Amino acid sequence: MDNSNLCNFLPLLDISMLFSVLKSLHLIFMVSWFAGLFYMVRLFIYSVEALDENEPKRTILYDQFLIMQKRLWWIITTPSMIITVFCGFSMIFLNIEYYSKTPWMHIKLAFVLCLIIYHFISQGIYFNLLQKKTTWTSMKLRIWNEVATLLLVSIIFVVVLKDSFSWIKGVTGFLAVTILLFSGIKLYKKYRSKS
């Protein structure tokens, strides 16, 4: 593309259009990132449970789960995280004046930081499983899987409610979701021990 064509094209790059494209990509890859995190931890659970099996089932299952983890982590989950964060910060950069003054964005970014930490702790679990070393039980991993759910719920509620966010309602809702998730895990554990 020569300079004259580029100059003709630039007016089409409207900031609001660019913002909309970034927002769309941010949402699409956020969904992919969470899907990858949810499924990855499920694969961790299956891997840990496979280690309790007898040979040859143990090796067959474990090796298959490692292949699935590798593809999921490096082809979907991690690239989705990178694109989500890039698009999010690009939107903030395009409207820095607004976002720097909004408390809800600071709260969202704190949750996103927690999510990034969650991502890299999960990556550490993955690296340990590659070496067949882990201190995580399948029950601890089930609980760990719900941390991502809590982060998702928190981020969505902060973004949707924005300035109308009531802290008492928000904290109460967060605690209610936490109690429901952990009650579900305990019920599932009882159900599994009976079967």
- What's residue 12's pLDDT? 52
DSSP 73: I
For the question of whether the overall pTM of this predicted structure is more than 0.95, the answer is no
How far is the C-alpha of 98 from the C-alpha of 51, rounded, in Å? Answer: 51
- What's residue 168's pLDDT? 64
Residue 30 neighbours by CB under 8 Å, 6+ apart: 80, 84
pLDDT tens for the chain, 195 residues: list them: 444 454 455 455 688 889 999 999 999 999 999 999 999 999 999 999 999 999 999 999 999 999 999 999 999 999 999 999 999 999 999 988 888 888 889 889 999 999 999 999 999 999 999 998 889 999 999 999 989 998 998 898 888 887 666 666 766 777 787 788 878 877 877 887 777
